[in-house]
């Protein structure tokens, strides 16, 4: 109501993409993607939730992602050995279950895909970190859910990967793994605030 506008920073969500070219160090890429997608249970505004990888290395990358994801220790986050804790509340827990059921119907779950209720995990809203594969027309490529879920899509070129990464209403963050001479192209074309 004053004479001048007040500055405001409003973080409005993200459907953050990672692009992986066929020239990437796949071990490094897999480690970074898992940390980004599942750190803080995927409940951070900068969490990776969409992965576009060139087809010729897609299977190898997915295998590495699955191995790292299955090795994640889940439990009470006050215990140092546990890397993932529970999701924030019953709404997130229910949203996870709904997304997993829907993904199983419209795509493929390659790791995770279950609420964890055994032993002490029954005392919280624990969800397995999940990797899925689905057609690009599938709605979860575009909808932010704020849960430990990342979709992987194989593409035919770096150009296609960047185009698909840019096909989103969100543009908070984006990441890239590839050759040094590909970085400038990625930075020039990607539509994201933080790269």
Residues annotated as catalytic (active site), given as ranges: 11, 45
Q: Are 50 and 60 in contact (CB under 8 A)?
A: no
**The tokens of 154 are what?**
């194989």
Q: Could you say which DSSP state residue 178 is in?
A: S
Straight-line distance from the first to the last Cα atom of the chain, in angstroms, rounded to the nearest whole number: 36
Q: Are 48 and 16 in contact (CB under 8 A)?
A: yes
Which positions ≥6 away from 70 have C-beta within 8 Å? 111
- Smallest CA-to-CA distance from 177 within 60, 78, 76 is with 60
**At 176, which helix (H) or strand (E)?**
strand 174-177
What are the DSSP E strand ranges found in 33-173? 48-54, 108-111, 130-133, 149-155
Q: Are 87 and 109 in contact (CB under 8 A)?
A: no
Q: Are 29 and 62 in contact (CB under 8 A)?
A: no
């Amino acid at each position: 109501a004053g004479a001048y506008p007040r500055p405001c920073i409003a973080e409005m969500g993200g459907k953050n993409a990672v692009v992986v070219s066929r020239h990437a160090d796949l071990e490094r890429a897999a480690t970074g993607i898992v940390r980004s997608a599942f750190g803080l249970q995927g409940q951070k505004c900068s969490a990776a939730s969409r992965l576009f990888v060139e087809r010729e290395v897609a299977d190898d990358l997915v295998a590495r992602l699955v191995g790292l994801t299955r090795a994640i220790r889940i439990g009470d986050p006050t215990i140092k050995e546990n890397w993932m804790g529970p999701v924030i509340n019953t709404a997130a827990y229910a949203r996870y279950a709904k997304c997993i059921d829907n993904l199983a119907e419209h795509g493929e779950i390659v790791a995770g895909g279950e609420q964890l209720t055994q032993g002490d995990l029954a005392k919280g809203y624990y969800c397995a970190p999940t990797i899925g594969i689905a057609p690009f027309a599938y709605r979860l490529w575009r909808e932010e859910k704020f849960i430990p879920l990342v979709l992987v899509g194989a593409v035919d070129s770096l150009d296609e990967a960047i185009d698909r990464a840019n096909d989103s209403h969100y543009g908070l963050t984006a990441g890239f793994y590839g050759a040094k001479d590909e970085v400038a192209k990625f930075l020039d074309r990607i539509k994201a605030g933080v790269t």
